[in-house]
Amino acid sequence: MLILTNKLLKLRGKPLHIHQHSVSMLSSISLPSPPNKTAPDDTINHISSLINQPNWEHNTRLKSLVSHIPPHVASNIIARNNDKTELGVQFFRWVCKQSTYCYDLDNRIQLLKLIVFRNLFGMAHKALIFLIKECSNGEDEVVRLMGAIEEMRGIGFRLNYPCYSILLMGLAKLSMGQRAFLLYQRIVADGFVLGMVDYKSIVNALCKNGFVQAAEMFLSTILRVGFHLDSHVCTSLVLGYCRVGDLASAFQVFEKMSDEDSCNPNAVTYSILIHGLCEAGRIGEAFRLKEEMSEKGCQPSTRTYTILIKALCDVGSSDKVLGLLDEMVTKGCKPNDHTYTILIDRFCGEGRIEEANGMFRKMLKDGVFPGTVTYNALINGYCKEGRVVSAFELLGVMERRNCKPSIRTYNELMEGLCRINKPYKAMLLLRKVTDNSLLPNTVSYNILIDGFCQEGQLRMAFNILNSMDTIGLKPDGFTFTALIDGLCKQGRPEEANGILGLMIKKGISPDEVTWTALIDGYCKFGEAGTAFMLFERMVDHRCLTSPHIFNLFLDFLSKQNKVNETNAMLGRMVKFGFVPSVVTYTILIDGLCLAGVTRQSLNVLELMKQGGCLPNVYTYTVVIHGLCQLGKVDEAQALLFKMSLLGLSPNHITYTVLVQAHVKYGKLDYATKIVSAMVKNGCQPNSRIYHALLEGFVMSGKAINAGVLSSLADVGAKSSLVREKNDDYVPSRVFREINIGDAFELVDKIDDCVGSTMDLYNFLAMGFCKVGRMSEAAHFVQDMVRRGLFPDKAVCSLIIEYLCKEQNLDYCLEFMDLILNNGFIPSVSSYCSVLRGLRKEGKVQEAQRLVSDLFKYADIEENAAVSPYIDFLVKEDEAHEFLELLKLVEHTHQNERPII
């Protein structure tokens, strides 16, 4: 590797090579001819006169005159002042920013071309420098500008040295290494001599793209023309090696810099190396390098700390981050918007939304203004928590603070609405997208399609798919996978298979998730043959990257008690290089238990231990479940003890199985002891345990119905513990027959042995709701609120929905006042139901008070900004609107500024 100075010196005289794609800088935009239609001469003369006056930029009359002038009129005004180059360039910059004519890049380029057409090359060069700097934030814009420059060469326009130098800097900033090198060749061909700053830009651009060997070879040119290496060039090399993951070479350059007085590493060099170490997962070394940096008198910068903060967040060490943030402030480094955004995004990702909100407030207090990315992170956090009103509040804050939402902002909100089962509202949000001169992208449509598929509304999902083609958006793999999954969940695998064919026809390769969704659909539909055929196609497409599909087949075959086929699939799994995991063995054990051969499952358990694949808590739970099914509760209890010897703690599923078994066989006292033990071990009872205790308690004490206990005996009989994923499922028979006094007696009993009754209260209230005993459910909610316990949102929503349906709005308002005054905020859907009911009855004042209460108790500050979104959420869904909206989006694609 050519990394040391003495080796670089040996490169003198050697030819320079770089891999080079055929990159054309020609633009399809033709040079405009002078338009025939011009503004009146008196208007052009008037504007020309005004810009020759002192402080003309602040002249309100001038602003009014130029507010709608197109590029060809602006070029006429500049031409009238052709002998005043600085004034012409100043007007060029000013009109590009002041005119409401929409001076986007294309219009600015057109104005530049018109100036060149008039042979005002001096003005054009300075105006071009302005355009280059304005385009430095986007690669596409720079490419378009370079294409226009190449086209203007056809009429004799040549860039001067300052233009070339600024353009090189812009390309380096945007990491466009190849284009920077091609531009270098053009500069040399035009006869210009480059300065050291230009060579630095080229080396930096190449290194940013990872063309580090080309950058090293280019250094020979720098040395040959008499320039010396400095910190900037060497730091670029360090960056290049870090970009390609060659940290050893990066550190060699770093050590060479430390030996040379003229190339001492600075804070940027250290930060790049620290970032490289963090990217490689060597966070401990990164922190040691930070300490070494301080010891050598080079203080860590804001960027240094931000890199380390992000590294800690990425590995889940969020608790250590706050200490590092305090150290950062203590050392005089002020966190910037990027620092805060990283923290906010991480807290949101961990579900710590209040801490994220606190960090956001601290950001504002410190005078750091959040950008769109920061707002998007926080909006995403609120949406994931189902707090859509708070997310819309942030959107209102963004708009009031002139921070323009991006399409991602609306995508996050649309996804949040789909999370709370409101895909139609997400559809309506497209109105806001078009109002903000944005167009939905493929992600937007994927969110909508997936949202409607999750709701089982596949017809609407396909309408959205069809509308994508009309606006030029192409569906991707996620689009088709969502549709395939939705069809399979509705038991329509044949139609899903047709979608797969369409997907392949469009040139989109299905991935492992797509194949797995379709194969799972056929398995659940009972068509194993087709599922296996699809598996062969999946293998042919080389989409087999994990053992998940084998586990899926093993689960299906073992449930069918097909021993030979199960063993064959297991052998094939090994043949493909996948080692059976604890999940695989657990599936096999579950199948044996389901077949009633629990003894064989115990043998497999021992084989797992001997083979070094230690069973986990779920494996043991499956065996315990099998023993309990056979009535061998004592053996199951003994196996629980063996678990603890292996250091495995039972989870709530393990305890649930044992509690159900003891209750089933009339051992209620043992069942309550198990509940007490599980609470001591940090495991809270779940709905299945409460249901078992409820039935056992009622049967042992009151015997209200001789047949009630049989329902418990049926629960889980010949069922698979692997198959059951919904822990909230409980039979409803007992709730139809139990009286409320017995339920309250159970509450007292649980209070004695557990010490907490909030979950039980919610369980009982939900159970009564599901069987239509809403008054009893409301009674339980009122009682728990008076005890200072928080009712579940789902329970409150069901009660409120019921009261609204019965048009008992007065009692509904009393109920909402009760829970609000006790610090509990109902769900958004609950508010929507009540508000709709109040408006239908003409009770406007009550509706306004309810919205005010929402703002008050939800701590919403921007009331005026959020009110329109409350109205948006409350509005009834009308299906015909959404088809019209699809047409509107299509129209938006064809017109720059639609009127809605």
Percent of the chain with pLDDT over 70: 85
CA distances from 603 to 593, 598, 600, 618 (A): 12, 9, 5, 16
The tens digit of pLDDT for each residue in 39-86 reads 467 778 888 888 888 888 888 888 877 777 888 888 888 888 888 888
Residue 887 has pLDDT above 70, yes or no: no
* Any domain includes 818: no
The pLDDT of residue 784 is: 80
Burial category of 112 from C-beta neighbours within 10 Å (exposed 0-12, middle 13-18, buried 19 and up): buried
Report pLDDT for 26. Answer: 29
What's the pLDDT at 4?
38
pLDDT band at 791 (very low <50, low <70, confident <90, very high): confident
Under the banding of pLDDT at 50, 70 and 90, the label for residue 482 is very high
| pLDDT bucket at 788, cuts 50 / 70 / 90 | confident
**Residue 140 lies inside a defined structural domain of this protein:** yes
In which residue are the tokens 């990257």 written?
545
Q: What are phi and psi of 718, to 5 degrees?
A: 50, 30
The separation between the first and the last C-alpha atoms of the chain, rounded to the nearest angstrom, is 62
Q: Which of 114, 196, 112 is nearest to 146 (CA)?
A: 112
Tell which wins on pLDDT, 120 or 709. 120
Average pLDDT over residues 525-530: 88
3-state percent breakdown (helix, strand, coil) of the chain, nearest 5: 70, 0, 30
The letter for the amino acid at 136 is: S
Q: Mean pLDDT of all residues in the chain? A: 81
Query: Is 591 among the domain residues?
Result: no
Position 694: which residue type? Answer: L
Distance CA 725, CA 320 (A): 35
Query: Is the pLDDT reported for residue 34 higher than 70?
Result: no
pLDDT of 858 higher than 70: no
Residue where a domain stops, chosen among 712, 736, 760? 736
Give the residue among 847, 763, 774, 846 at the shortest CA–CA distance from 806: 774
Residue 125 belongs to a domain: yes
Cβ partners under 8 Å of residue 38, min gap 6: 44, 72, 73, 76
Q: Which residue has the tokens 């950058």?
A: 215
Whole-angstrom distance, CA of residue 776 vs CA of residue 768: 7
pLDDT for the residue numbered 97: 77
What 3-state class would DSSP assign to 650?
coil
> Which residues fall within 8 angstroms of residue 690, CB to CB, at 6 or more apart?
730, 750, 759, 760, 763, 764
Residue with tokens 């005078």: 367
**Residue 37 pLDDT > 80:** no
Residue 81's contacts (CB-CB under 8 Å, 6 or more residues apart) are: 48, 51, 52, 87, 88, 91
Number of Cβ atoms within 10 Å of the Cβ of 167: 27
Q: Which residue has the higher pLDDT, 807 or 171?
A: 171
pLDDT digits (tens, 9 = 90+) for 135-151: 766 788 888 889 888 88
Beta carbons within 8 Å of 847's beta carbon, 6+ residues apart: 835, 838, 839
Rg (CA), the chain: 35
Closest residue by Cα to residue 410 from 421, 400, 398: 398
CA 898, CA 54: separation in Å to the nearest integer? 40
Q: Is the pLDDT of residue 790 over 60?
A: yes
Establish if 337 belongs to a structural domain: no
* Tokens of residue 860, six digits: 């919403």
Final residue before a domain boundary, out of 132, 158, 184: 158
- How many C-beta atoms surround the C-beta of residue 255 within 10 A? 11
Helices (H), 473-597: 477-489, 493-505, 512-524, 528-540, 548-559, 563-575, 582-594
| CA 819/CA 786 separation, integer angstroms | 9
3-state SS class at 316? coil
User: Does 717 have pLDDT greater than 70?
Assistant: no
User: Does residue 827 carry a pLDDT above 80?
Assistant: no
Query: pLDDT class for 408, splitting at 50, 70, 90?
Result: very high
The first and second tokens of residue 721, run together, are 């513990």
Q: Which helix (H) or strand (E) holds 307?
A: helix 302-314
Residues spanned by the domain of 76: 20-158
The pLDDT of residue 857 is 66
Alpha carbon distance 299, 68 (integer Å) = 52
> What is the pLDDT confidence band of residue 691, given thresholds at 50, 70 and 90?
confident
Residue type present at position 421:
N
- If one compares 448 and 898, the residue with the highest pLDDT of the two is 448
Closest residue by Cα to residue 409 from 364, 441, 367:
441
Structural domain total, the chain: 2
Interhelix angle 196-208/231-243, nearest 10 degrees = 10
Nearest alpha-carbon partner for 311 in 337, 347, 346, 266: 346
Distance CA 16, CA 868 (A): 63
Rounded CA-CA distance 76/118 in Å is: 10
Q: Are 811 and 781 in contact (CB under 8 A)?
A: no
153 DSSP assignment: G
| 310-277-202-10 Cα dihedral, nearest 10 degrees | 170
Quickly count: other Cβ atoms within 10 Å of residue 263's Cβ: 22
Q: How confident is the model at residue 698 (pLDDT cuts 50, 70, 90)?
A: low
Q: What is the pLDDT of residue 666?
A: 79
197-243 pLDDT per residue, tens: 988 899 999 998 889 888 888 888 788 888 888 888 899 999 999 99
In a domain? residue 426? no
Residue at token pair 């043992």: 670
Which of the residue ranges 362-376, 402-416, 420-434, 507-521 would you say has the lowest mean pLDDT? 420-434
Give the pLDDT confidence score for residue 653 in this predicted structure. Answer: 86
User: Helices 652-664 and 617-629: crossing angle, nearest 10°?
Assistant: 10
- Beta-strand runs (E) in 220-357: none
Per DSSP, 35 falls in state: P
pLDDT score recorded for residue 891: 55
pLDDT of 581 above 50? yes
**Whole-angstrom distance, CA of residue 8 vs CA of residue 3:** 7
Is residue 869's pLDDT more than 70?
no
Query: Residue 307: exposed, middle, or buried by beta-carbon count in 10 A (0-12, 13-18, 19+)?
Result: buried
Contacts 24+ apart (CB under 8 A), 66-69: 66/95, 66/98, 66/99, 67/98, 67/99, 67/100, 67/101, 68/99, 68/100, 68/101, 69/39, 69/95, 69/99, 69/101
Closest by CA position to 184, among listed 172, 357, 814: 172
Per the CB < 8 A criterion, the answer to whether 69 and 108 are in contact is: no
Name the maximum alpha-carbon separation found in the chain: 106
Is the whole-model pTM more than 0.75?
no
| Residue 99 placed within a domain | yes
Find all residues with CB under 8 Å of 766, minimum gap 6, and list them. Answer: 777, 792, 794, 795, 798
Opening angle at CA 711, ends 677 and 775, nearest 5: 85
Residue 624, phi-psi category: left (phi > 0), alpha (psi -120 to 50), beta (remainder): alpha
What stretches of 34-113 adopt beta strand conformation (E)? none
Q: Is the pLDDT of residue 627 over 50?
A: yes
Is residue 277 over pLDDT 60?
yes
Residue 675 has pLDDT above 50, yes or no: yes
Judge contact between 18 and 211, C-beta under 8 A.
yes
322: nearest Cα among 340, 303, 336, 337: 340
> Pick from 686, 707, 736: which residue ends a domain?
736
Long-range contacts of 321-325 (CB under 8 A, 24+ apart): 321/346
Long-range pairs for 253-262: beta carbons < 8 A, 24 or more residues apart: 253/3, 256/3, 256/4, 256/5, 257/231, 260/5, 260/229, 262/228, 262/229, 262/230, 262/231
State the virtual CA torsion across 74, 80, 84, 89 in degrees, nearest 10.
10
